[in-house]
Amino acid sequence: MDVGFIHSIFTVVLLVLLLNIFIWAFSKSQQKRFETASQLVFADENVSEQMMKQKGLSS
């Protein structure tokens, strides 16, 4: 086996791995999980507003 053949096998393995990641990421079974995770950024915002109202501060 020469180095070119090993590089070719490595490239094919990485391509298959990348395609599997894309299939997993865009599958419908992951959609709800990713939508929930995308809303976590805003979850802390409501808590902060409630704490400011309790302390008598306004935003």
Q: What is the pLDDT of residues 10-58, one digit of tens each?
A: 999 999 999 999 999 998 888 888 888 888 887 776 666 666 677 776 5
Please report, as a single letter, which amino acid is at residue 4: G
What pLDDT, on a 0 to 100 scale, did the predictor assign at position 1?
79
Domain boundaries, the chain: 3-55
Q: 6 pLDDT exceeds 90?
A: yes
What pLDDT, on a 0 to 100 scale, did the predictor assign at position 51?
67
Pair 20, 13: CB distance under 8 Å: no
What pLDDT, on a 0 to 100 scale, did the predictor assign at position 52?
67
What pLDDT, on a 0 to 100 scale, did the predictor assign at position 57?
63
Burial of 8 (0-12, 13-18, 19+ CB in 10 A): exposed
Chain length of the chain? 59
What pLDDT, on a 0 to 100 scale, did the predictor assign at position 36?
87
